[in-house]
Amino acid sequence: MLVLGVETSCDDTAAAVLQDGQTILANVVSSQDEVHGPYGGVVPELASRQHIKNIMPIVDGALRKAGATLKDVDGMAVTYGPGLVGSLLVGLSLVKGISFRSGIPYVGVNHLEAHLLAIHLEHEVAFPYLALLASGGHTLLYCVRGVGDYAHLGGTRDDAAGEAYDKVAKMMGLGYPGGRAIDQLAQTGNPKAIRFPRARIKSSAYEFSFSGIKTAVWHYLKSQSEEERRAKAADIAASFQEAVTDMLVRPAIAAARTGGIERIVLSGGVAANSRLRAKMKEEAEAAEVSVYYPAPKFCTDNGAMIALAGYHWLKRGRRDDFSLNADADLTL
């Protein structure tokens, strides 16, 4: 069964061809970092326009790379939410158009579900597992009991973890998106140089908050001269990263322990972070829990994870009709 997956929920235009839910024949992504970089964040209007420009070459490129044509495709999967509505509509409209013209069935995919299942592109992980989804738009903790069976355990009260990375990177003049830049800069810094606060939500052990640390870094930067800021950049990056990592690791381990869940799966763009990967592994080992994380290209937005989530639903007989609309605030 050949599934074409299409993703345009934010600022990456992506398509993939997946065979039998297992073999990735093609996975093509066009990132818009250069377009949004000068603005320090995604500009929705520009993102939609870029998707319009990129979507046909990306889908064509994925099919060509897979050595397939539309005639070989058995089903299509496309993200219909959550995300930027103008961006979502580009992918959704294209897939609906293809489906209308060629009769190939399609399903709309929840972007969050695709992140939670992305690990299965590379690893066999038994259910149930605890999934920490940390991206530019979300920080969520779920118990994944099976395909379509997700128990929400907690989430962020304010900023997403990736958003904190991007905002701090912007303050430090590291460009957008900033997660990877901070990760790299932190390699040469001392994570104990500055003690940034670790927010704790009293009422729930599984909730996150990242607005406080963002403000703490801002105050710290303000208190330093330009020269000091430059000299201490790596230490600031490492100390900030250490604090964010602690705030992500603690609730995940606590949830796994309390629920007796033996596996933790990381997903979303922030799961590409080297310190988070290392620390989660360390702490999980101590708690006798296994940790799995996707390759960085499957942590960030990609078409393969959309194709995989869609594959499961297509296989179960789900089909969407042409009334399906984009849903910017879609939840799981």
Binding site for Zn ion (CB under 5 A): 135, 301
Looking at 71-79, 212-220, 230-238, 266-274, which segment touches ligand KG4 (CB under 6 A)? Answer: 266-274
Burial class (CB in 10 A: 0-12, 13-18, 19+), 302: buried
Q: Which of residues 108-137 bind ligand KG4 (CB under 6 A)?
A: 135-137
| Alpha-carbon gap, residue 36 to 263, rounded angstroms | 36
> Residue 119 has what DSSP assignment?
G
Judged by CB under 6 A, does residue 183 bind ligand KG4? yes
Interaction partner, residue 270 (Zn ion, ligand KG4, none; CB < 5-8 Å by kind): ligand KG4
Q: Which of 269, 294, 303, 310 binds ligand KG4 (CB under 6 A)?
A: 269
Judged by CB under 6 A, does residue 87 bind ligand KG4? no
Distances (CA, A) of 151 to 141, 265, 280, 285: 9, 14, 21, 24
Judged by CB under 6 A, does residue 191 bind ligand KG4? no
Judged by CB under 6 A, does residue 27 bind ligand KG4? no
| Alpha-carbon gap, residue 277 to 271, rounded angstroms | 7
Judged by CB under 6 A, does residue 162 bind ligand KG4? yes
| Alpha-carbon gap, residue 16 to 35, rounded angstroms | 23
| Alpha-carbon gap, residue 47 to 86, rounded angstroms | 8
C-beta of 269: minimal distance to ligand KG4 in Å? Answer: 2
C-beta of 128: minimal distance to ligand KG4 in Å? Answer: 23
Q: Which of 128, 154, 189, 268 binds ligand KG4 (CB under 6 A)?
A: 268
Looking at 118-126, 148-156, 160-168, 251-259, which segment touches ligand KG4 (CB under 6 A)? Answer: 160-168
Q: Which is nearer to Zn ion, 189 or 268 (CB)?
A: 268
Name residues whose C-beta falls within 8 Å of residue 271's C-beta, 6 or more positions apart in sequence.
Answer: 132, 134, 277, 293, 294, 299
Looking at 16-24, 47-55, 63-71, 262-270, which segment touches ligand KG4 (CB under 6 A)? Answer: 262-270
C-beta of 44: minimal distance to ligand KG4 in Å? Answer: 14
C-beta of 81: minimal distance to ligand KG4 in Å? Answer: 12
| Alpha-carbon gap, residue 112 to 301, rounded angstroms | 10
274-286 vs 233-259: helix crossing angle, rounded to 10:
40
Residue 210: how many other CB atoms lie within 10 Å: 26
C-beta of 107: minimal distance to Zn ion in Å? Answer: 18
Interaction partner, residue 154 (ligand KG4, Zn ion, none; CB < 5-8 Å by kind): none
Interaction partner, residue 82 (ligand KG4, Zn ion, none; CB < 5-8 Å by kind): none
Name residues whose C-beta falls within 8 Å of residue 65's C-beta, 6 or more positions apart in sequence.
Answer: 17, 25, 26, 28
Phi, psi of 24 (to 5 degrees): -85, 110
Q: How many residues bind ligand KG4 (CB under 6 A)?
A: 19
Q: Which is nearer to Zn ion, 92 or 172 (CB)?
A: 92
Q: Which residue has the tokens 């940790």?
A: 291
Q: Which is nearer to ligand KG4, 8 or 135 (CB)?
A: 135
Q: Are 251 and 141 in contact (CB under 8 A)?
A: yes
**Which residues contact ligand KG4 by CB under 6 A?**
10, 135-137, 162, 165-166, 177-180, 183, 268-270, 272-273, 300-301
